[in-house]
Amino acid sequence: MQPDRDRRQTGDNDMPYTAEISRANPTCFLFLIDQSESMREAIGGGEVPMAKADAVADAVNRLLSELTIKCAKEEGVRDYFHVGVIGYGAKVGPAFGGALAGHDLVPLSHVAAQPARLEERTRSTRNGSGVLTQQSVKFPTWFSPVAYGDTPMCAALTKAHDVVGKWLAEHPGSFPPIVLNITDGESTDGDPSGPAEALRELMSADGNSLLFNLHVSSDQSEPIVFPNADRSLPDDYARLLFGMSSILPPTMRTAATQQDLALAEDARGFVFNADISAIPQFLDVGTQVLGLR
Amino acid sequence: MTTATEPDAAAAAATTSARTFPRGASYMEALQDPASAFADPDLAAAAPALTPLGLPRPVSGNFAAVFRMDAADGRAWAVRCFTRWFDDMGRRYEAVDAHLQKQRGTWRVGFEFQSQGVHVDGEWYPIVKMDWTSGQPLLGYIEQHLWDGAALAYLAHRFATLVDELRRAGVAHGDLQHGNILVAPGGDLRLVDYDGMFVPALAGLTGNELGHRNYQHPSRAPGEFGLHIDNFSSWVVYASLVGLSVDPLLWGRVDGGDECLLFRSQDFTDPVHSDALAAFESSGHPVLADLAGRLRSYLAMPLASVPPLAPDRAPMPVLQEGRPVDLARQQSLMAVLRDEAPAAASSPLVEDIRRPRAAARPPVHFSHPTTPRLAAGAVAGAVLLVLVAMASAVVPVVLGLPALLAVTAVGSLAAKTLWRQSPEVAEFQTKQAGHADATRRRDEAKSAVAAVLRQRAEVDKTEHEALSRAGRASEQQQSERDAAIRQVDDQLRVTLTALAAQEQELYRAEHTALAAALRDAQRVVIDEDLRRKPLSMYSGLDDRLLFALALDDVRTAADFVDVFVENEGKASELAYLVRADDKRVKATGLSAAGARQLLSWRRGLEARLSASLPTSLPDDVAGQIRARFSAPRAELARAEGRARADAERQADAVRAMPVADSTALTAAARQAQRQAAERRVKLDQDLGRAKKALAEAEWELDSCERELDAYRGLTFAAFLRGIIGLP
């Protein structure tokens, strides 16, 4: 490649996380999803009790759908992103179902074309005249909720390291990969700090990989959203996850501001005690990258 | 993207947070059932274009997800569902609509802003319903015509003309970029997405978007707004199109088409290191170098100083401004009428007239002890009863029973007569007759009220019919008028598209002629040079052969263009040199290999020249060629002008005609309304009187009832009990 071209793709040399995302220069989102036994318990918030595993699967599936729509253009879905879902519980591995089963990262157009299932869901909505009606809606899903086994977070982060490392070898100039880890409990295979740090050290010409952590909770305590210091955190476990989380790049901080969250400059991509409404917020902020058109 | 860094931008951003809008996925869910999602009857009855999965297929932009909706009758719309919103967007769309109504440009796509357009998760959100336009997106068109320089050059020309047309109309698009430019069949251009459009009525507001990053001047500030906001991006589009028409290889060289044409934001923020600008400058083509130079100089000045792109040829018909404004638009008619309607419901005349109800009276009793007639009756009764007792003891049983019955009957008749003649009962009967009277009067009053109400309903109905007749007729006329104007527009569009196709042909022919002339000019240079290279310069020919060739007029490298070998490899092998006039000249003694070497010597000379060949025609030569095409082109321009003027006249005629009619309609409707109002005033007075009468009758009846209630205890049994002295 010509030097100019490298420079063009990686954005401003002095500023990380400014690479422009395009079809020729995509980035990747990797979701790590805790599938341990305890994910069967109900999540805080919401009107109807819902298992944490279901709430997480719904939110991530919806985000995948949202991403495909955001990148939908006249000629089809543009591959601005490569996306993967890794589950960790009884086993650690790719969680996509259907035609994408077994794949770690797939271009977004493939995601758009091949959901595992098209679920028919019934929604009650008020129609234009204010009458409550039942509407049957098709809802694409790419993976199903699972809750079985331990919480091998170290193994999951190591797997993510492999996937991201391989991807970076092919996309050295990309906006750095983003790994979103969603869990409800402590790691059962050792201290995850080491593997987390190794993962964050992987880098593209535009900066280090980003690791964001979301802790979902069954209890009703107030979520702690994108903190910038560990002083206010309730326990060592929360401080551990905080320490594993990357600082949010400016684009994401701006996105959070638009959702009326006032964040400090060094706010981390970390949410503790997330209830049902904090999950999509975390996912939304954590996947905001430079303006796509 | 809008980021708040300046005061006005901050103000603009502040208005965005007022309301969160649904995401694309929510719209996709809602549109699975158009009938419940859309307020617009066309859209409610239409079906969304689907993805292979069978879900509504969106195309996402900066502000909106756009869905195509198809009606059963073949009509189609693009529906913009907003994912981001600015509070004054509705107002902006209205201003844009009002301004574009006055333009006849073929670039515009018909649209309608609906503030309560789509229903998502229990709430209404605005939409823009746009006519579906059959055009190819710019990137696709370029890729398909990458090797058709004439087509791309024509596109550049068309684009420059379009930009000029916009500017003259006082319009700036705000986000000129590949995604918002469609190429219609015939090469005409259409612009879509009017979210950030500037029209004169919006002067003084701030802009709500920055436009696509790969098309913007680095100095374009958030909120910057005005006629000038397209000035830089139009040069970017134009330079890219011209660049590609000259050198299609640029597309691959700078990764063209990846969210851009040939330039990216980096080329503008750091022009010193721009490989796209460098590629233009090193192309050796003066036009490209000129364009790159322009872009560089524009980058050195603020956006407001960048000159607008203007076509250097093709005189443009001046668009007329200030057409009569449509006063009686269909939507406004009914509203106007409604606003003026008297508020009859609140008239004090029809208020219920209520009175306090009469207080209940204490019950009335028989007054036996004080009444002599009653006392006499009591004595007579007692005597009778004694007689009966005595008779039944003496008279035999056979005779006794009838006698007893007769006596009892006589006694009870007497008692009943006494009861009836009691003053209380008589009083009661009078009251009862009064009650019947009051009931009758009340019923009459009731039907009088009902009659007035019926008349009033009749008046309302008549008025409503008159109004909706006028409304319908006006809507009908309006839609006929709209259809007529649409037809004029469509006709114009067809004509202009045909003219555009002709113009494109002309352009292609001119392009071909210029290319041929350039080839000829290059040929002249080559020939001149080769004529200065005698064959003797080539070491492989002996003098005898040189002499023989000279006799056949082959003396220099210019005098032959090819070699030909007969019976190669045989004893009779003979080489020829082929002259420019195709004549073969024997080269006796020259081997096949020698002949080929001679040819490659000649080609080597030619190749060495290629760097010094002219890349463009001298101005006069080019001018002469262009002049050949200027007359037919001017004719086309005149035809276009005529077509536009015709359409203008036709549209004006259509507009002028129904205005009078709709005024008449309005007058008729007003007349009906006035009559109804008068009738209503009178009826309301009648109704007031009738209700008053009814209320009085009700009151009378009520007090009658209460009085009658007091006599409820005056039964015969009570009378008898009174006679006997029981309580």
Q: What confidence tens digit (pLDDT) does each residue in B497-554 have?
A: 888 888 888 888 888 888 888 888 888 888 888 888 888 888 888 888 888 888 888 9
8 Å CB contact of B140 and A123: no
Query: What's the average model confidence in pLDDT over B159-165?
Result: 91
What 3-state class would DSSP assign to A274? strand
Q: In this model, does residue B394 exceed pLDDT 90?
A: no
Please compute the mean of the pLDDT values over residues B666-684 and round it to a whole number: 80
Residue type, B261: L
B415 SS3 class = helix
Chain A CB contacts of B16 under 8 Å are: 258
**A149, pLDDT greater than 80:** yes
Mean pLDDT of B350-377: 50
pLDDT at A7 over 80: no
Interface test with A, best of B5, B21, B29, B195 (most A CBs within 10 A): B29
CATH topology of domain A28-286: Rossmann fold (3.40.50)
Looking at the structure, tell me whether residues B83 and B183 fall in a common domain. no
Residues of B with Cβ-Cβ distance to A75 under 8 angstroms: 137, 140
The pLDDT of residue B614:
80
* B138 and B128 co-located in one domain: no
- Residue A233 pLDDT exceeds 70: yes
Is the per-residue pLDDT at B73 higher than 80?
yes
Q: How far is A272 from chain B (nearest CA, A)?
A: 25
Point out the residue among B3, B62, B273 whose CB comes nearest to the CB of A293.
Answer: B62
Averaged pLDDT of chain B: 80
* Distance between CA atoms of residues B148 and B533, nearest Å: 37
Instruction: Look at residue A221 and tell me whether its pLDDT is greater than 50.
Output: yes
Interface predicted TM-score of the whole assembly (ipTM), two decimals? 0.89
Whole-number pLDDT of residue B261: 96
pLDDT > 60? residue B325: no
- pLDDT (0 to 100) of residue B364: 66
The CATH number of whichever domain residue B24 belongs to comes to 3.30.200
Residues B202 and B296 in one domain: yes
- Rounded Cα–Cα distance for residues A214 and A190 (Å): 19
Chain B CB contacts of A283 under 8 Å are none
Residue B560 has pLDDT above 70, yes or no: yes
Looking at beta carbons, which residues of chain A come within 8 Å of B55?
A: 118, 138, 140
pLDDT of residue B713: 72
pLDDT(B275) > 50: yes
Q: Which residue has the tokens 């929360």?
A: A238
End position of a domain, from candidates B132, B147, B179: B132
Is residue B252 located within the same domain as residue B279?
A: yes
pLDDT of residue B665: 63
Give domain status of residue B561, yes or no.
no
Residue B214 confidence (pLDDT): 93
Average pLDDT over residues B637-650: 88
Structural domain contains residue B79: yes
The pLDDT assigned to B690 comes to 85
pLDDT, mean of residues B221-250: 91
- Read off the pLDDT band of B476 (50, 70, 90): confident
Q: List CB contacts (< 8 A) between A23 and chain B.
A: 258-259
* Total domains, chain B: 3
Output the pLDDT for position A8.
43
Instruction: Find the CB nearest A74 among B39, B59, B213.
Output: B59
State the smallest CA–CA distance between residue B680 and chain A in angstroms. Answer: 32
Q: Give the percent of chain A with pLDDT over 90.
A: 56
Q: Given CB atoms, is A13 within the 8 Å cutoff of chain B?
A: no
For residue A127, the model assigns a pLDDT of 64
Does position B727 have pLDDT exceeding 80, yes or no? no
A140 closest CA partner among A104, A160, A114, A166: A114
Residue B58 or residue B663, greater confidence: B58
Q: Answer whether A251 touches B (CB < 8 Å).
A: no
**Does the pLDDT value for residue A69 go beyond 90?**
yes
Q: B270 and B153 share a domain?
A: yes
- What does the alpha-carbon distance between residue B474 and residue B662 come to, in Å, rounded to a whole number? 6
Between the ranges A41-55, A264-278, B602-616, where is the mean pLDDT highest?
A: A264-278
Shortest CA gap B649–chain A (Å): 37
Q: Position of tokens 């419901």?
A: B345
Band (B383; pLDDT cuts 50, 70, 90): low
Q: Please give the pLDDT value at position B57.
A: 94
The 10s digit of each residue's pLDDT in B33-72 is 999 899 999 999 999 999 988 999 999 987 899 999 999 9
Question: Do B99 and B138 belong together in one domain?
Answer: no
Same domain, B359 and B271: no
For residue B252, the domain's CATH number is 1.10.510.10
Chain A residue nearest residue B16, CA to CA: A258
Question: What CA–CA distances, in Å, run from B345 to A42, A290, B341, B680?
Answer: 56, 59, 11, 10
Nearest to B32 among A2, A127, A138 (CB): A138
**Under an 8 A CB cutoff, do A5 and B52 touch?**
no
Is pLDDT at A219 greater than 60 in this prediction? yes
| Chain pair A-B, CB pairs under 8 angstroms | 101
pLDDT tens for B415-472 read 778 777 777 777 888 888 888 888 888 888 888 888 888 888 888 888 777 777 777 7
The predicted structure's pLDDT at residue B370: 46
Per-residue model confidence (pLDDT) at position B15: 42
Q: Could you tell me if A122 lies within 8 Å of chain B, comparing CB atoms? A: no
Segment B351-358 shows an average pLDDT of 38
Which tokens go with B134? 């059959």
Using beta carbons and an 8 Å cutoff, which residues of B are at the interface with A?
A: 1, 3, 16-17, 23-25, 28-29, 32-33, 36, 39, 51-55, 57-62, 65, 119, 121-122, 124, 137, 140, 177, 179, 212-213, 255, 258-259, 264-266, 273-275
Q: Given a cut of 70, is residue B354 above it in pLDDT? A: no
B258:A24 CB<8 A: yes
Q: What pLDDT shows up at residue A26?
A: 92
Residues of chain A contacting residue B23, judged by C-beta atoms under 8 Å apart: 66, 69
Residues B150 and B288 in one domain: yes
User: Which tokens sit at B270?
Assistant: 């750091």
Q: Which of B265, B284, B316 is the last residue of a domain?
A: B316
Q: Which residue on chain B is closest to A130 by alpha carbon?
A: B122
What residue numbers bound the domain in which B441 lies? 333-479+664-724
| Per-residue model confidence (pLDDT) at position B481 | 78
Is B670 within a domain? yes
Question: Is B523 inside any structural domain?
Answer: no
Closest partner residue to B58 among A72, A126, A138, by Cβ?
Answer: A72
pLDDT level of residue B8 (50, 70, 90 thresholds) = very low
Task: Please tell me which residue of chain A has the smallest CA distance to B255.
Answer: A24
B80-113 core/surface letters (b: 16 or more CB in 10 A; e: else): bbbbbbbebbeebbebbbebbebbbbbbbbbbeb
Higher pLDDT, A25 or A211: A211
- Is there a contact between A138 and B259 if contact means CB atoms under 8 Å apart? no
Residue B55 lies in a domain: yes
Residues from chain B that touch A7, judged by Cβ atoms under 8 A, are 266, 273
CA distance A115 to chain B (A): 9
pLDDT at B397: 55
From chain A, the residues in CB contact with B62 under 8 A are 291, 293
The residue ranges of every structural domain in chain A are 28-286
Residue B242 CB contacts under 8 Å (≥ 6 apart), including other chains: B152, B153, B156, B287, B288, B291
> In the prediction, which pLDDT does B350 show?
31
Position A6 pLDDT exceeds 60:
no
B143 and B277, same domain (yes or no): yes
Radius of gyration for the alpha carbons in chain A, expressed in angstroms and rounded: 19
* Distant-in-sequence contacts of B555-562, Cβ < 8 A, 24+ apart: B556/B530, B556/B531, B556/B532, B557/B530, B557/B531, B557/B533, B557/B601, B557/B602, B557/B605, B558/B526, B558/B527, B558/B528, B558/B529, B558/B530, B558/B531, B558/B533, B559/B531, B559/B535, B560/B585, B560/B602, B562/B599
Which pLDDT belongs to residue B398? 58
CB A225 within 8 A of CB A273: no
Same domain membership, residue B112 and residue B148? no
* Rounded Cα–Cα distance for residues A69 and A292 (Å): 12
According to DSSP, the residues that pair with A179 across neighbouring strands are A30, A211
B126-137 pLDDT, tens digit each: 999 999 988 889
Cβ <8 Å between B36 and A127: yes
Q: Tell me, what's the pLDDT at A81? A: 94
| Residues in contact with A249: Cβ distance below 8 Å, sequence separation at least 6, in sequence order | A16, A17, A207, A210
Flag whether pLDDT at B681 surpasses 70: yes
Is B62–A70 a contact, with Cβ atoms under 8 angstroms apart? no
pLDDT of residue A118 exceeding 70:
yes
pLDDT score for B268: 95
Least confident range of B208-222, B396-410, B490-504? B396-410
From chain A, the residues in CB contact with B258 under 8 A are: 22-25
Which pLDDT score, from 0 to 100, does residue A261 have? 83
Same domain, B204 and B282: yes
Given CB atoms, is A65 within the 8 Å cutoff of chain B?
A: yes
Position B322 pLDDT exceeds 50: no
Q: What is the pLDDT of residues B367-377, one digit of tens each?
A: 654 445 555 55
